[in-house]
Amino acid sequence: MLKIAFIAHDRKKDEMVNFVIAYEHVFVPHKLYSTGTTGTRIMEQTNLTIHRFMSGPLGGDQQIGALVAENEMDLIIFLRDPLMAQPHEPDIIALLRLCDVQGIPVATNIATAEVLVKAIERGDFAWRELVHKYKPGADE
Ligand SMILES: O=C(CO)COP(=O)(O)O
């Protein structure tokens, strides 16, 4: 079971919803997270249960970033809008930076998202179970 986060900027939300519908069967066994509005949109159109954080501009990216900082998050699909300025740009940069700090796979466009979802399907990230299992403070 991986921890996967979905984040999409407004003009990318339809693309995100269609993507998650297409691969719903891949995401079902995993623990899913999202920023506020993205999660609402996905849950309206799929049967997935998603833990929703705050909306991005209100701190949602930072909340997901906090899990990344603790090496808790396994993979992020973040469909960014490259053509629209975001009021919380610093939060977005901070989240992507933390993904690079921890070496967390993060797709920022649909083409990379497709590659990652195929990798999830193949079990390429199963090693992340070990990260969680042997983390300091983990139960076992
Ligand atoms: O702004 C976002 C990510 O930077 C996304 O937030 P929402 O999912 O709440 O729209």
Please give the chain's pLDDT, 140 residues, in tens.
Answer: 999 999 999 999 999 999 999 999 999 999 999 999 999 999 999 999 999 999 999 999 999 999 999 999 999 999 999 999 999 999 999 999 999 999 999 999 999 999 999 999 999 999 998 999 998 776 65
Sign of CA dihedral 106, 140, 48, 58: negative
DSSP code string of 83-133: TS--TTHHHHHHHHHHHHHHT--EE-SHHHHHHHHHHHHHTTTTTHHHHHH
Pocket mutation for ligand 1, best pick of 17, 43, 55, 68 (most atoms within 8 Å of C-beta): 55
Task: Tell me the two tokens of residue 53.
Answer: 């954080």
Length of the chain: 140
Look at ligand 1, atom 5, and give the residue with the nearest C-alpha: 56
Q: Which domains does the chain have, with CATH numbers?
A: 3-132 (3.40.50.1380)
* Ligand 1 center–CA 55 separation, angstroms: 5
CB of residue 62 inside a 6 A radius of ligand 1: no
Q: ipTM score of the complex?
A: 0.98
Amino acid making up residue 63: Q
